[in-house]
Amino acid sequence: MHRKSLFLPRRRWCHVAPLGLSFAVPALPARAAARRGGERPRALVSIWLAGGPSQLESFDPHPGTPIGGPTAAIATRLPGALVAADYPRVADVLDRFTVVRSLVSREGDHERGSHAVRTGYRPDPNLVHPALGAIVARAVPSPGLELPAFVALGNDPFPSRGGYLGATLDPYRVTVPGRAGENMVPHVAADRQARRLGALDALSRSFAAGREATVERTLDDHTRREALTLMESEQLAAFSVADEPEAVRTAYGDSVFGRGCLVARRLVEAGVRSVDVTLAGFDTHADNFSGQNARARVLDPALAALVTDLEGRDLLDSTAVVVVGEFGRTPAINPLDGRDHWPHGFSCLLAGAGFARGQLVGATDPRGESRTPSDPIDVADFAATVLAAVGVDSAEEVTTPIGRPMKLGAGRPVGRLLREPS
């Protein structure tokens, strides 16, 4: 129903992109399938577009209309779906996604909007809700994993939190991905490192004597043990891209974000359950069109390569890929040639795991006269849908540290966005 009713006609302003085999990650053995056997534990990769990406300059263009601005559109492999011309590689893999153009939120502030999309809850001054990535890391087992179950890659102004589920579910943050872990490789000889660790252990035991509650509250012992395990683990190599073929690294793009997406694939392959990859810089109150174009040049190759790579390694069907920011940008163009905050109808992309494939859902008003898109999907229901795609029940009730019963999600899964069980 949604596909047919939302097809957009081609017009003279629509420049059709070539949809040949111009872009691909080199085919490699499906190592993940061999490692996991018949089991397919699910994972979540969140591509977080910090600052509020413009839907009109990405996945919901309206060229030739009062709100379209100078942005041109191109055809894609998803019938009826157009994307901005700055996304030719995403256009070539868009049939792997469901495109939602009708997310709605009641939060138009960056921090509050980020919280709402990432948790499904509006901010509460008395409670920190856990991010979806933390919930997934808690819910999906990772036997034999020595890496953190939740990893955040890139510089995120409002990072995910474990919230009331505990600080042990805060993500392990790597601001410059692609290296073999930050501050994880000893810079001294093995014997000297051993002496240092021995001294640290003696100091820690001395501090802990009579301070058990403090040690538990600060997670001092937990953090030290986790760090030492990671430093000594062969799995630490998942953070480095040095052994990736040059063609693969090139496909993702020569950018911090591109390397982050490649590391995300490597982490999922190693068994990490949740990965956030952040691309910042979308807050274009001024000079919107060149600003969004600059971000597209980074996002386009990396996102297309990630989906292609996951699919080629037999990982896409067990990995939910979510592409979203805290809100969109206004239909109106302001006097600074920019667009302002707009939580009333913005876009996201969903692929892999339990998501339906090849759908176009919702539509915004091409004239900008209506604030409400057709088929609106509240961010609370969006969050519940993401959890459902990786097999987590958002209605599960847990008890916070102060004894308050809370459901993992405030919304309800949107059935049409989910793949029917086979």
Residue 71 has what pLDDT? 98
Residue 16 has what pLDDT? 37
Residue 372 has what pLDDT? 95
Tell whether pTM > 0.95: no
Below-70 pLDDT ranges, the chain: 1-39, 180-184, 214-224, 227, 229, 421-422
Residue 25 has what pLDDT? 65
The whole-angstrom separation of Cα 79 and Cα 81 is 6
The whole-angstrom separation of Cα 100 and Cα 51 is 19
Q: Which domains, ranges and CATH numbers included, belong to the chain?
A: 2-179+240-417 (3.40.720.10)
Contact in structure between 2 and 360 (CB atoms under 8 Å): yes
Residue 295 has what pLDDT? 98
| Residue owning tokens 């001092």 | 220
pLDDT in tens, 206-223: 777 777 776 666 666 666
- Cα atoms found within 13 Å of the Cα of residue 179, Cβ hemisphere only: 10
Residue 233 has what pLDDT? 81
> Could you write out the three-class secondary structure of the chain?
CHHHHHCCCCCCCECCCCCCCCCCCCCCCCHHHHHHCCCCCCEEEEEEECCCCCHHHCCCCCCCCCCCCCCCEEECCCCCCEEECCCHHHHCCHHHEEEEEEEECCCCCHHHHHHHHHHCCCCECCECCCCHHHHHHHHCCCCCCCCCCEEEECCCCCCCCCHHHCHHHCCEEECCEEECCCCCCCCCCHHHHHHHHHHHHHHHHHHHCCCHHHHHHHCHHHHHHHHHHHHCCHHHHHHECCCCCHHHHHHHCCCHHHHHHHHHHHHHHHCCCEEEEEECCCCCCCCHHHHHHHHHHHHHHHHHHHHHHHHHCCCHHHEEEEEECCCEECCCCCCCCCCCEECCCEEEEEECCCECCCCEECECCCCCCCCCCECCEEHHHHHHHHHHHCCCCCCCEEECCCCCEEECCCCCCCHHHECCCC
